Structure 1
Amino acid sequence: MVRNSAKIITRALAPLAGILLLSACADQAPRKYVVFFSNRSAELDEAASTVVAQVAEKAAHHPSRIVQVEGYAAAGGDLSADALLAIQRAKVVTEKLQADGVPADHIVQTPRAPSTLEGMAVGSRRVEIELVSP
């Protein structure tokens, strides 16, 4: 009788345990966001501003996390200008995050070296934003 009761309780609680596990996973902040830029531009368009605003909202719900901002640019004829563009892109995203309420001491800004990989033209015109644990 006790074994049958335990089996019934286990069967009844298994779906509840699954739901709780899924809800715990849903509470985790998506970790990486990508903001794309036009060629040779460091200006945020409407879509990019929306992504940054979403990150700021997630950061507000996860105040212990650090917002990592990594700027990228494709390698063209002038590597120093391309590196500067990566820095400018990261900076403009950082400024928008701060304007949207993310404290400056919760943002780490990192430019990446210009990429020379084939097929990376669009992918190099980006900033990646990640919410990381301190």
Structure 2
Amino acid sequence: MQLPTQAQVNTAGRYAGAIAGTAFAIFGLQAKGISLDQVKAMIAALGTVINDIVVFAGLAATAYASIRGVVSSSPTGQAASIGANASTVVQPAPGGAATVTITDPAMASAALAAQNKSA
């Protein structure tokens, strides 16, 4: 099994931060006097079917966003992102390689800095 890349670890960290932020928001609402029981009562008042749809949508959206984030930060996802960027020109080379030309100076500088840092 291949270990995750640094970009994938960073993505997972961002999602962990979002989860922690949600928890702090809930505690903040409680500190303002809005109890979790009041929120649950409001959702329950919508009815069982609507409540189930809300719960399912929340779970599905969280799972989908997490999967998309990790996949997009994979090496293949990052390569596809570079190829789709209007500031890059990708030319095929022999043996399955490619030459990437970056036309945006700021983007080129950032790419060189990242490459030098990883070397």
TM range (shorter): 0.3 to 0.5
Structure with greater helix percent: 2
Structure with greater contact order relative to length (CA < 8 Å, sep ≥ 6): 1
Structure with greater strand percent: 1
Q: TM-score, normalised by structure 2?
A: 0.33
Q: TM-score, normalised by structure 1?
A: 0.30
